[in-house]
Structure formats: structure tokens, C-alpha cells
């Protein structure tokens, strides 16, 4: 009997770790590609005989279809074959790269943008976070943080390699190289690494015994049905907290170059500072995941949001300016971006268990996407005033409201109400 238990544990550990690696590969490839797409905009404008503005619309098409697919996933993910969804995402992503090579009508590029939007939903956090939550009962926050660390590091490498290839072999050949290399890696990940839910194979999450030992009746194998989740304040409090956090985070990320230059940096220094921001962001991301596992999601999130509020407030009231203000943004603004990508998965999982975690994470991605739609207001404000002061003031207030909402949503009273709904 002991031998059989050891065999089951070995199989579970192997599938759980392979699934984690497969998720990291998928997220890394797709999101690193998204970050480096701006390198190709001039070449795409030439290839499709369009303006820079017309080409940039592909990001809008991608965002809309990503939001739509997240909404659709929220209804089917807990019942669907995840590997089938991921394979569909592989096809969408590779078709997008292929359309970039084919060229022709700008409509084809927009269709490619729609497919890319679908792939960002099917291959990144909306499927990766549930899979990790299903397979790993312990240290889930730290393991989810590996996703952001992976694509963050690879984005630096990919942008460097892509720039080199563009100058040496041209646009089309660069995309073809990515098409072949990424295609092979994605198929290996989808076909040989990622598994369905543990229950599909008659297994339990890896290390669920340890979690049960620490807390009787652990939500590692139980949960609240989604229909009951949406009747709680905890669900909606976290949902709007994510929306507000990403509205502020995206406002900086999408305007980072202009923000840093408004601090008195030239374009070259602004690029260097933004690269430093991304490296610091990786550290903040890993730290958030580790803190969630060590001291709890509530305390970790309060610490990160508190740091962000202080950084935004100091910048808004003008205590720091110039290079010091730029350094403040590089060092501390990333606490919002680092936590907003994981706060939904780790909070919903702790409060509601894993029964409907796939649907819950999809809704957290919907909240994040809705927040990102607000970010053009930051650009408009800067265009009209020539300053980011209004954004910094609003950001401080919005983050403070998000913190209050999160504290209330994760209070003992809210958690107790949710725990009474467990089945």
C-alpha cells in the first residue's frame, strides 16, 4: 500500500511540475511577444501600406477580443478541456505571426490582432493561474509569480534578439524565425507538459496533505460554487479593487516614456530607466508571491498598496521632482503592477477554494482588462495640461480606495460569510 501511495505521489508531482513549466513557457512566449510588438510597428506600416496609427489599432482589436474571450472563458473553463483551449490558443498565436508575414490588406492585420487577443486569453493568466491553483496546493502564490518573472526576463532577451535580427535578416525573416521556434515550444508545452485537472486522472493537488495538516477542511479540495461567489461582498470588493489597481498601473506603463521624460530625462535615459523599472518589477513580483505564502495575501497586499500610495502621493505633492521623481517611479510604482496580476488568483483561491477558481480568475482578468480601458484618460490629461500631476493625484486616491475595498473584502467577517457557502 505504501508503495502504491509513493507511486501516486510521484505521478502527481511530475504532472504538477510539468504543468507549471508548460504554463511558464506559454505565458512567457505570448506576453514577451506582446511587449516587443512595438519594435515591428514601422515595418508593419510599410508592409501593409498603412500609417503608424492604423497599425497601432491592432492593439485595440487585441484588447477587445482578449476581454471578450475572458468573459467566454469564465463560463466554460471549469468544465472545458483546458488542453484543447490551449491548443486553440496556439493556433491563434501562430496565425497572427503568419498574417504579419503574409501582408496585404490592413484588414488581415486586424484579424491577426483579434486572433492574438484570443491567444493572450487562452495561453496566459486566464488558463495558467487556474492550472497552477488546481495542481499545486502549497506555495501557490510564489509559483504563480514565476509566470511574470519568466516573461519579464524573456521580454528583455527577446527585444534584444529581435532588434538584432531585424537589422541583419529583415522583418519577414525575423517573424518566420519566431514562428518556427515559438511554434515548436508551444506545441511541446501543450501536448507533452500541461495536464488537465488532477481529478481527470483520479489525483489530488500536489502537497494537498501538507495543506490539510496545517488547516483542517482546507479549501485545497473544496470550494464555493460560482453562483454563490457572486452573491458575496468579497467577490465584488476584490473585483473592483483589481479594476482600480490596473487603471492606475496601466496609466503609468502605457505612458512610461512620456512620464519619465516629463521628469527631465532625455529619450535615451528614459529608455534606460524604463528597463530598470522592468527589472525591479520582476523582484517585486517574486517578493509578492513569496510574501503571500509567508504572511498571507491580505498583509502582503496591504504592504504593496501602502508603498504604492506613498510613492504616488510624494510625487503628486511635489516633495520630490526631476531625477528623484523618476527614480521613485522606477523603484516603487511597480508594486501595483506586481500585485495586480496575482491578487485575484491568490485572494479568490483562499476565500472561495478551488471549486470555481478557473471562473474566478477569468473574472479577475476581466476586471483587469476593464481597468486598462480607462488608461487613455491619463494620456488625454497629459496632452491637455502638459503634466502628470492630475494622474498622480487621482492615482493616489484610487489606490487608497482600492486598499480600503480590499481590506473590507478580505476581512474576517467577509471570509466567514464565504466559508459558510463551502460545499
Check residue 215 and give its pLDDT. Answer: 47
Check residue 4 and give its pLDDT. Answer: 61
Report which of 278, 277, 22 is spatially closest to residue 152, judged by C-alpha positions: 278
DSSP 365-385: HHHHHHHHTTTHHHHHHHHHH
Round to whole Å and give the CA distance between 327 and 45. Answer: 34
CATH 1.20.1250.20, applies to 9-196: yes
Check residue 157 and give its pLDDT. Answer: 84
Q: Quick check: 297 and 346 in contact, CB under 8 A? A: yes
Round to whole Å and give the CA distance between 22 and 30. Answer: 13
Give the three-class secondary structure for 206.
strand
pLDDT along the chain (423 residues), means of 10: 69 91 94 80 84 77 85 82 93 94 86 92 89 86 85 82 86 93 94 89 79 48 81 93 90 80 82 81 87 88 94 88 88 89 86 83 85 75 83 94 94 87 78
Size of the chain, expressed as the number of residues it contains: 423
Report which of 276, 12, 336, 341 is spatially closest to residue 146, judged by C-alpha positions: 341
For the record, the C-alpha cell of 133 comes out as 491553483
Q: Is the dihedral of CA 365, 370, 371, 377 positive or negative?
A: positive
For the record, the C-alpha cell of 364 comes out as 479577475
Q: At what angle do helices 343-352 and 125-135 cross, to 10 degrees?
A: 40
Q: Where does CATH 1.20.1250.20 sit in the chain?
A: 9-196, 220-419
For the record, the C-alpha cell of 387 comes out as 503634466
Which residues 6+ apart lie within 8 Å of 101 measured at CB? 172, 175, 176, 179
Give the three-class secondary structure for 107.
helix
Which residues 6+ apart lie within 8 Å of 159 measured at CB? 35, 36, 39
Round to whole Å and give the CA distance between 138 and 135. Answer: 9
Q: Quick check: 391 and 300 in contact, CB under 8 A? A: no
Which residues 6+ apart lie within 8 Å of 93 measured at CB? 29, 30, 33, 115, 116, 119, 123, 182, 186
Round to whole Å and give the CA distance between 407 and 367. Answer: 18
**Cα angle, residue 369 at apex, residues 367 and 370 outer, rounded to 5°:** 65
Report CA-CA distances (Å) from 306 to 199, 208, 320, 404: 39, 33, 18, 11
**Cα angle, residue 396 at apex, residues 237 and 142 outer, rounded to 5°:** 55
Report which of 205, 320, 240 is spatially closest to residue 248, judged by C-alpha positions: 240
What does R_g of the chain's alpha carbons equal in angstroms? 22
3-state secondary structure 219-260: CCCCECCHHHHCCCHHHHHHHHHHHHHHHHHHHHHCCHHHHH
Which residues 6+ apart lie within 8 Å of 217 measured at CB? 422
Which DSSP state fits 353? Answer: B
Round to whole Å and give the CA distance between 335 and 284. Answer: 6
Task: Determine the CATH number of domain 220-419.
Answer: 1.20.1250.20
Report which of 27, 244, 20, 249 is spatially closest to residue 142, judged by C-alpha positions: 20
Q: Decide: pTM greater than 0.75.
A: yes
Give the three-class secondary structure for 209.
helix
Amino acid at each position: 500500500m505504501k508503495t502504491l501511495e509513493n507511486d501516486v505521489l510521484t505521478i502527481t508531482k511530475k504532472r504538477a511540475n510539468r504543468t507549471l513549466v508548460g504554463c511558464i513557457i506559454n505565458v512567457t512566449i505570448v506576453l514577451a511577444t506582446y511587449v516587443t510588438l512595438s519594435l515591428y510597428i514601422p515595418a508593419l506600416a510599410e508592409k501593409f501600406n498603412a500609417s503608424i496609427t492604423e497599425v497601432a489599432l491592432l492593439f485595440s482589436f487585441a484588447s477587445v477580443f482578449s476581454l471578450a474571450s475572458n468573459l467566454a472563458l469564465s463560463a466554460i473553463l471549469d468544465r472545458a478541456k483546458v488542453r484543447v483551449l490551449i491548443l486553440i490558443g496556439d493556433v491563434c498565436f501562430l496565425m497572427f505571426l503568419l498574417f504579419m508575414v503574409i501582408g496585404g490588406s490592413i484588414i488581415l492585420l486586424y484579424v491577426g490582432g483579434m486572433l492574438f487577443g484570443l491567444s493572450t486569453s487562452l495561453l496566459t493568466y486566464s488558463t495558467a493561474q487556474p492550472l497552477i491553483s488546481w495542481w499545486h496546493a502549497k506555495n501557490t502564490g510564489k509559483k504563480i509569480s514565476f509566470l511574470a518573472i519568466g516573461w519579464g526576463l524573456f521580454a528583455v532577451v527577446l527585444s534584444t534578439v529581435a532588434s538584432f535580427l531585424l537589422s541583419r535578416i529583415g522583418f519577414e525573416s525575423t517573424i518566420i524565425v519566431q514562428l518556427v521556434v515559438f511554434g515548436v515550444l508551444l506545441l511541446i508545452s501543450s501536448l507533452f507538459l500541461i495536464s488537465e485537472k488532477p481529478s481527470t486522472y483520479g489525483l489530488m493537488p500536489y502537497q494537498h496533505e501538507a495543506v490539510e495538516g496545517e488547516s483542517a477542511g482546507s479549501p485545497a479540495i473544496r470550494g464555493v460554487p460560482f453562483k454563490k461567489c457572486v452573491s458575496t461582498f468579497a467577490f465584488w470588493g476584490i473585483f473592483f479593487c483589481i479594476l482600480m489597481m490596473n487603471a492606475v498601473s496601466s496609466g503609468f506603463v502605457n505612458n512610461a516614456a512620456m512620464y519619465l521624460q516629463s521628469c527631465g530625462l532625455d529619450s535615451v535615459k528614459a529608455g534606460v530607466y524604463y528597463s530598470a523599472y522592468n527589472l525591479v518589477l520582476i523582484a517585486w513580483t517574486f517578493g509578492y508571491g513569496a510574501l503571500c505564502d509567508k504572511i498571507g495575501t491580505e498583509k502582503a497586499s496591504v504592504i504593496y498598496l501602502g508603498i504604492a500610495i506613498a510613492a504616488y502621493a510624494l510625487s503628486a505633492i511635489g516633495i520630490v521632482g526631476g531625477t528623484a521623481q523618476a527614480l521613485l517611479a522606477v523603484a516603487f510604482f511597480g508594486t501595483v503592477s506586481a500585485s495586480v496580476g496575482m491578487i485575484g488568483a491568490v485572494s479568490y483561491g483562499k476565500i472561495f477554494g478551488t471549486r470555481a477558481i478557473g471562473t474566478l480568475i477569468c473574472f479577475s482578468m476581466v476586471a483587469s482588462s476593464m481597468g486598462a480601458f480607462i488608461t487613455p484618460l491619463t494620456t488625454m490629461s497629459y496632452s491637455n495640461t502638459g503634466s502628470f500631476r492630475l494622474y498622480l493625484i487621482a492615482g493616489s486616491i484610487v489606490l487608497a480606495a482600492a486598499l480600503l475595498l480590499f481590506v473590507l473584502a478580505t476581512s474576517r467577517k467577509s471570509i466567514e460569510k464565504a466559508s459558510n457557502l463551502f460545499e
